[in-house]
Amino acid sequence: MRGEGHTIESNQMVIPIGALDDLIGALRERGYRVLGPTVRDGAIVYDELAGAGELPIGWTDSQDGGHYRLERREDDARFGFAVGPQSWKRFLFPPRLRLWRARLGGGVPAVEEEPLDDQPLAFLGVRSCELHAIEIQDRVFLGGRHTDRDYASRREDVFLVAVNCFEPGGTCFCTSMGTGPKVESGSDLTLTELFDGEHRFLVEAGSERGAELLAGLSGRPVGPADVEEAERSVATATDRMGRTMEAFDLRDLLERNLEHPRWDDVAQRCLTCGNCTLVCPTCFCSAVEDETDLSGGEAERWRVWDTCFSVDYSHIHGGSIRPSGRSRYRQWMTHKLGTWHDQFGSSGCVGCGRCITWCPVGIDITEEVAAIRATDGAGADATVA
């Protein structure tokens, strides 16, 4: 149904809060499994949504180093929070994935590749930093000589409904990384939640299929007050980042500070628990697990999430290349902020702050970078006299 005064060519519209249910419904009708934020176990996680009522209505998150709490808002904002412990990568790059099965015994083993999951997904509530993270993982899994078959299949049809942040978190620093808070591109639809006078969404289409879906929703044309409030919302969010990181020249800075004493300092605190790699939306390391049943008649290969913080991660015959926690923390941080540029042409960090929030001891990469910058070159001289 077309909204009043709205043509199929228009790519923006204002919809009332209730229309969010229609949006979800329209996606489900088109065969998408709609995934979005919902409250569970004291956190905001991403899961299948049957309707807009399952969103974290009136909730916000309080985040700091090693700290995450949900708190009640005074309004009933649908997206009044930053990001939770999960990222969208769990749907595009599942934590556990069977790659193939083989039947052994009697002649040549027959290998049966796992059929691809062809259920199209819709992500509702994707932040700008998360869009960038998805783009980064696209480069990892699809940009090289060999692509990831499963990721390609899951990624192909994903319908992205992005949301402009108006409530950045205590550990957010997307502005430092150039990844937000405003959604610039890469989504099918973008929602900006507005409150003045009427609780509503400004919806912008970013693709043909986004425009097509938008055309089916009831709403009204965008007015100057809507635009003004949306701009103000973005500007406010931009100024309220919980952290900053000076990202200039980070690749070279880290490359020349591989023996900086700060690594010893952070090693004293880091538990090498790997939480940061689990919550990070761009971490992509995986391990291959080859399993067999007790009879030895059937074998399976699984791909599972791995973390560079485990000692086994770098194990070769003879021992691990990185036995110390110091070397493993250094590997993670210098890869994420430094050598990722060499490998994939961009930073691996989108400034979402999850690694800071979910570190049990509150290690803060923005602080670690600042500390190294402050004494750039320390520890480089090999001879102590």
Partner 1 sequence: MATATVIERPGPGSMVPAPFLVAAREQDTVDTWTLTLDPIDGPRPSIAPGQFMMVYAFGVGEVPISVSGPPGRPGPVVLTVRSVGAVTAAVCGSEPGATLGLRGPFGTPWPVESAGGGDVLVIAGGIGLAPLRPVVLDLLERRTGYGSAAVLYGARTPGDLLYTRLFDSWRRTLDVEVTVDTAGPDWPGRVGVVTKLLPGARFRPEQTTAFVCGPEIMMRFAARALLERGVAPERILLSMERHMDCGIGLCGHCQLGPTLICRDGPVYPYSTLAPWLEVREL
Partner 2 sequence: MPRSLDDLLADVPFFEGLGDDTRALLAGCARNVHFGAGDRIFKEGGEADVFYVVRHGSVAVEAFVPARGPVTIETIEAGDVLGWSWLFPPYRWHFDARALAVVRATVFDAVCLREKCDADPALGYALMGRFAQVLIDRLQSTRLRLLDVYGNGNRH
Number of residues located near partner 1, criterion CB under 8 A: 53
Binding-site string for partner 1 from residue 77 to residue 106, where x marks contact by CB under 8 A and - marks none: ----------------------xxxxxx--
Q: Which amino acid is at 229?
A: E
User: From the list 62, 153, 286, 320, which residue makes contact with partner 2 (rule: CB under 8 A)?
Assistant: 320
Contacts of 138 (CB under 8 A, 6+ apart): 155
Q: Tokens in use for 212?
A: 């097509």
| 382 is a contact residue toward partner 2 (CB under 8 A) | yes
Among 73, 209, 240, 326, the residue binding partner 1 under the rule CB under 8 A is 326
The rounded distance, in Å, linking the Cα atoms of 30 and 176 is 38
Residues written for the chain: 385
**Could you identify the residue written with the tokens 């042409």?**
345
Q: Count CA within 13 A, CB hemisphere, residue 13.
A: 30
One character per residue 286-315, x = contact with partner 2 (rule: CB under 8 A): -----------------------------x
Q: Which of 1, 108, 374, 384 binds partner 2 (CB under 8 A)?
A: 384
Alpha helix positions (H), 313-353 = 325-334, 340-344
Instruction: Please name which of 162, 210, 226, 217 lies closest in space to residue 15, comparing C-alpha atoms.
Output: 217
The site map against partner 1 for 277-316 (x = CB under 8 A) is -------xxxxx-x-x---x--x-x-x--x-x----xxxx
Q: Are 176 and 247 in contact (CB under 8 A)?
A: yes
**111 is an interface residue for partner 1 by CB under 8 A:** yes
Q: Is 253 helix (H, G, I), strand (E, B) or coil?
A: helix
Judged by DSSP in three states, 327 sits in helix
Instruction: Examine residue 339 and tell whether it contacts partner 1 (CB under 8 A).
Output: yes
Summarize as ranges the residues that interact with partner 1 (CB under 8 A): 99-104, 108-113, 140-141, 144-149, 255, 258-259, 284-288, 290, 292, 296, 299, 301, 303, 306, 308, 313-317, 321-324, 326-327, 331, 335, 338-339, 342-343
Summarize as ranges the residues that interact with partner 2 (CB under 8 A): 315-321, 323, 382-385
